[in-house]
Structure 1
């Protein structure tokens, strides 16, 4: 049986490697700085024993996040703390959305605007609801209707 699309993407995300030179030049973080972050335990190369530093795509995203936080004026410790909080928020949001909504459908997405329709499952505490999230020239807003 062939792996599902999301499993193939997860495997790609886990197996894709980028060398320290590519990370450094792409993100504007010096190799020395990356080695320091490794020593502090903030990031980890894929194979520490080989001496050749390659990073997973997940680590590259972490490096980009930390760099962005530093550029905003946060200290290194605060940037790492913020990255942990952002990962936790993202994981919790994915789990909640996945368990709470029957369907997510893109209705319209031209000119950078879009609408997303969410069907909220019925429970003892609330009726089934349809939530329409809209991003348009007026900003972000929601409409809530009973199904």
Structure 2
């Protein structure tokens, strides 16, 4: 291997049959959605099986979810795109603001997420807590780091 990290999202390719199985959307529907420009196959030679990046499965599942909720196909595609955009905003925030995640109980999947300081003096930190009481925010005075 050349040392390049593979990305499930960007590098894994699945055939139309596999995409259909993964998402529960028929191959016929997938071909129709592609004709309409709602999803895109990986460019390939003529008369070969359609192939898709694995990440397309997220879009297909989102479209199906909105169709199941009663939206039209066009509105489902629009809602799926809004969902993707919201996720990207969420991801940017998390990648920039999460300083540390501490596992407090691995078996129960409890932990504390350090979201950093929020005051002008950089003395108070906000934490996201997941424990037996649910999910909530907590503020704490920043611990001394001069030890």
**TM-score bin (small chain):** 0.7 to 0.9
Query: Relative to 1, partners in 2 of residues 1:126 and 1:89: Cα closer, same or farther, differing over 3 Å?
Result: farther
Matched residues in 2 for 1:143 and 1:122: separation?
12
Instruction: Quote how far apart the aligned CAs of 1:55 are.
Output: 0.7
**Map of 1:134 onto structure 2:** 129
* Number of aligned residue pairs: 140
**Consecutive unaligned residues in structure 2, runs of 5 or more:** 143-147
Counterpart mapping for 1:10-25 below 5 A = 10=7, 12-25=8-21
TM-score (norm 2): 0.78
Instruction: Quote how far apart the aligned CAs of 1:13 are.
Output: 2.5
Matched residues in 1 for 2:65 and 2:121: separation?
41
Query: Relative to 1, partners in 2 of residues 1:109 and 1:66: Cα closer, same or farther, differing over 3 Å?
Result: farther
Matched residues in 1 for 2:117 and 2:45: separation?
50
**Map of 1:68 onto structure 2:** 65
Rg larger in structure: 2
Q: Determine if contact 1:100/1:121 at 8 Å carries over to the other structure.
A: no
**Map of 1:117 onto structure 2:** 113
Query: Relative to 1, partners in 2 of residues 1:128 and 1:89: Cα closer, same or farther, differing over 3 Å?
Result: farther
Per-residue CA distance 1:86-145 (angstroms, 9 max, x = gap): 1111212222232334x221322445442222141567x463432222233432211112
**Consecutive unaligned residues in structure 1, runs of 5 or more:** none
Which structure features the higher share of helix residues?
1
Q: Which residue of the other structure, out of 41, 52, 68, is the alignment partner of 2:37?
A: 41
1:74 is paired with a residue whose SS is coil
